[in-house]
Amino acid sequence: MLKIVVMRIKLHILITVMLLGFLIGEVCYLKILPFFVKIYYTSELKDFNKQPTKTMTVELDGYIFNYHVPHDLKQDVLYEIKELLHGRNLNSIHALVIIANWVRTKLKFGVPDYDSDNILVEDILNSSWNNDLNVLCDSYARLFVIACQSLNIPSRIVELEGHVVAEAFVRTINRWVMIDTTRGYYMSKDGEPLSVAEIVVCYTQGVPLIPTVFSERRGDDSLYGEAYEIKWREVYLNGYTFVSDKNRVDVQKIFSTIISTLRLPVVKIQFVDYNSTLIGYKEKLLRYAVLLTFVVFVLLSAIFFRKKD
């Protein structure tokens, strides 16, 4: 009888420890996309391409989404781009091209040989070894957006599957325009520059687009060309198009927003088409698993300690 009791106790302990380990693992995974957040899904161009306010925010069903990218880039670096555009019309494609080409002179394309998860593009530019480090498309897009926002040009980082580009809102034509700083081009239809979501729709419908390559090859990167057309078409059609709120990256800010607004903060906006995989879906299922695991853990712990008493 005593052996049976001991075996039951050991079994309870084993199951409890396993559940606790599973729970910790789930919570650690969800640190990327915490519990109390909302992802805004839309298949409407007017929603995804909504005109931002002067503070670079948009309202989506009562939720405020912020496009501003926090950074600590030195002012002398930003002063260069401000001087370069001094006296020019900032609400034009030409201004965006100047900014994009300036970004390309500051960065060196290639696979990073450092911890790119913890070192941002401004860390590289603020250092003395900026010309010796390689960066990828996300850094190109980030620096472009930081430069635009320093000039009060609304801009945002748009993530695709396997690629990252930037967009800027040109007020004179009242539309978002995709600028691929890494590949040095933008896309147009009927003479109008397009946003990422519009490019996705055009590719889906088989509408021909006109690429405009505005940069020169430097030897360390690959400009857009006809040889890349099929590849980049696939990138845009993979159903993975979204924008992230770079201001809400930690739990403290998320809970602060919830307490002040009594609403879940929107941390991502995803443009959804027929081929889209909803981001956050796996995390949503995992949240339910966390809650279920927690309930089972509490029940088993209660049973164990009750029997022990």
Residues 6+ apart with CB under 8 A from 3: none
Q: What is the token pair recorded at 150?
A: 């320093």
234 and 203 in contact (C-beta within 8 Å)? no
CA 273 to chain centre: 18
**Cα 223-69-65 angle, rounded to 5 deg:** 110
139 and 121 in contact (C-beta within 8 Å)? yes
C-alpha span between 40 and 166 (Å, rounded)? 19
SS3 209: coil
Beta strands 192-193 and 185-189, pairing class: antiparallel
C-alpha span between 295 and 229 (Å, rounded)? 51
282 and 26 in contact (C-beta within 8 Å)? no
C-alpha span between 217 and 111 (Å, rounded)? 18
Q: Where are the beta strands (DSSP E) in the chain?
A: 38-42, 57-60, 63-66, 108-109, 134-135, 155-160, 163-170, 175-179, 185-189, 192-193, 210-213, 241-244, 266-271
Show pLDDT as tens, one digit a residue, over the chain (309 residues). Answer: 555 555 655 555 666 666 565 555 555 544 444 556 778 999 999 999 999 998 899 998 888 899 999 888 888 888 888 898 988 899 999 999 999 999 998 888 888 766 666 677 877 777 766 566 788 899 999 999 999 999 999 999 999 988 999 999 999 999 999 999 999 999 999 999 999 999 999 999 999 999 999 988 776 667 787 777 888 889 899 888 999 988 765 666 666 766 777 777 788 899 998 888 777 666 566 666 666 766 776 776 676 666 555
User: What pTM was estimated for this model as a whole?
Assistant: 0.79
- Written as one letter, the residue type at 286 is L
The pLDDT, as a whole number, for residue 273 is 87
